[in-house]
Amino acid sequence: MSDSQTSQSPSLTADDIHVVDQAEMKKALRATLLGNFMEWFDIGVFAYVMTYIALVFFPLPAPWDSLATFATLAVTFLVRPLGGLILGPIGDKVGRRKVLAFTILMMSLGTFLIGCLPGYSTIGVLAPILLILLKFVQGFSTGGEYAGAATFIAEYASDRRRGFWGSFLDFGSYLGFAAAATLATVIEVVGGEQFMTDWGWRICFWVALPLGLVGMYMRTHIQESHAFEAQKDAQDEEAKNENKSLMDELKEVVRGHWPRLLIGSAMVMCAQVVGYAVTTYMPEYLSDVLGYDTLHGNALLVPVLIIVSVSLPIFGAISDRVGRRPVMLTGCVVGVIGSIPSFVLMTMGHTWSTFLGLLIMGIIMMFQVSIQASALPSLFPTKVRYTAMGIMFNLAVAIFGGTTGFVITALQNVFHSDLMGAYYIMLACIVGAIGVYFMKESSGRNLHGSMPAVEDEEEVSDVIENIEENEKYDLSTMPIDIVDDPRADKEGAL
């Protein structure tokens, strides 16, 4: 490489810098947030009425009734990768917005229909079969939901506030779970246990349809992300006319980005094992192991979920200042140190100690899930971001997240220890720390394959003047006329 080549500067103008429309940003955030609310509302409803689901669809002796119900929940996650594999490439071709409108409609419809299913006593073995089929429908649609929503918001947000805005996705997720727990508790308190067993549990599922219709309307009335539009416009005619099969596209993504897929999967495993341990395993653990009734169990867990939800934007904002890696590594250390004490506190038999144990687990969650929506999309270039996210996120969730309750329950029955959940969380945090160690810092940086995105017009001139000196901007991935980025050879991280 000649000196003349390395000294050339990028041809960057004010028109190349994207200024985020704050009104559109908030509109897009509300639309995507509702979808994540819906996704976790469904998971929460299923988890909190799991006792009644087991009675209605799986009339088996313990512990097989609980294992069958957990397995049904886990089945949802087995089909998520298929949804990601199909919906991801579609989202990279036709746009994120259209796919997200489809996913929220399918999620809400599947949830509503579960509430309409007759039980085992009415149609026999056909009842659990139909339940599993509807969970497959939900799983397929959710396979494109979080990956698409995280991609969409990451591309909408400015470089220096991506962590803050992205954290609102999981804010919506855990509020959805808390809302499901609150709804189930209110219905049980008002109607009683027999009412819930007879048909009261169905009301929780019926609420999903109107919420889904509202979400679909909102998503069809927002603009596509600027990064996607820019990528689409930048494609030449030859690229546009390429007719690659779905399998060819998937192979290309895996071959070209497998190190980042592994890094992201490790981070997802960590966040999702902790998240699903709290949200889907804890309701059953509080009732079956610790002996709390549904009402008192929910009264302990719902406040923790609310505390977690409102704290996520704070952690996201912190990551914008100090970096994603320090926040996530701290969370992994807290997870390894705090998991056993949290379970020990819960087994002490006091209400205050149980709440404190749950809160410790919630704190571990805050460090991890608050960063996911900003850190994971930054791993991949714009043209394959949705596809790569769909593959990586859904495979990791299917293998590790959705099976968390089943795995911990099975381990407890094998080893007869109430601390197996703590050991599993510690393992996940160690794996997550390895992934974060190899991850390149993305805080304040342009998305891979995109131009800089700023909050307001005043930042534009500053970016242009300091683009070559600012180590946060990766010039080699920007779609601009540049011979070489002299810093590229110094970048050893992925």
Q: What is the 3-state secondary structure (H, E, C) of 66-131?
A: HHHHHHHHHHHHHCHHHHHHHHHHHHHHHCHHHHHHHHHHHHHHHHHHHCCCCCHHHHCCHHHHHH
Question: What confidence score (pLDDT) does residue 11 get?
Answer: 60
CA distance 75 to 79: 7
Give the list of residues 6+ apart from residue 142 with CB closer than 8 angstroms, or none: 39, 76, 80, 83, 103, 107
CA distance 274 to 259: 23
- The answer to whether residues 124 and 141 touch, using CB atoms and an 8 Å cutoff, is no
Q: pLDDT tens, 397-438?
A: 888 887 888 888 888 888 888 889 999 999 999 999 999 999
pLDDT band at 359 (very low <50, low <70, confident <90, very high): very high
**Which domains, from first to last, does the chain contain?**
19-227+248-438 (1.20.1250.20)
% of the chain surpassing 70 pLDDT: 89
Residue 240 or 131, more confident: 131
Once rounded to an integer, what is the mean pLDDT over residues 236-262? 75
pLDDT band at 240 (very low <50, low <70, confident <90, very high): low
Question: What confidence score (pLDDT) does residue 10 get?
Answer: 53
Question: What confidence score (pLDDT) does residue 235 get?
Answer: 58
Q: Residue 341: is the preceding peptide bond cis (ω within 30°)?
A: no
Q: Is 277 left (phi over 0), alpha (psi -120 to 50) or beta?
A: alpha
**45 pLDDT exceeds 80?**
yes
**176 pLDDT exceeds 70?**
yes
Question: What confidence score (pLDDT) does residue 7 get?
Answer: 46
Question: What confidence score (pLDDT) does residue 233 get?
Answer: 64
Question: What confidence score (pLDDT) does residue 145 get?
Answer: 86
Mean per-residue pLDDT over the chain, rounded: 84
Question: What confidence score (pLDDT) does residue 156 get?
Answer: 87
The highest-confidence range among 51-55, 114-118, 222-226, by mean pLDDT, is 114-118
% of the chain surpassing 90 pLDDT: 27
**261 pLDDT exceeds 90?**
yes
**254 pLDDT exceeds 50?**
yes
pLDDT band at 41 (very low <50, low <70, confident <90, very high): confident
**358 pLDDT exceeds 90?**
yes
Q: pLDDT tens, 89-112?
A: 888 888 888 899 899 999 899 999
Residue 494 or 458, more confident: 458
Annotate 77-89 with b (16+ C-beta within 10 A) or e (fewer): bbbbbbbbbbbbb
Question: What confidence score (pLDDT) does residue 55 get?
Answer: 86
Question: What confidence score (pLDDT) does residue 433 get?
Answer: 96
The highest-confidence range among 47-51, 358-362, 448-452, by mean pLDDT, is 358-362
pLDDT band at 445 (very low <50, low <70, confident <90, very high): confident
Question: What confidence score (pLDDT) does residue 328 get?
Answer: 95
Report CA 118 to chain centroid distance, whole Å: 31
Question: What confidence score (pLDDT) does residue 215 get?
Answer: 87
Once rounded to an integer, what is the mean pLDDT over residues 187-206? 88
Once rounded to an integer, what is the mean pLDDT over residues 24-35? 87
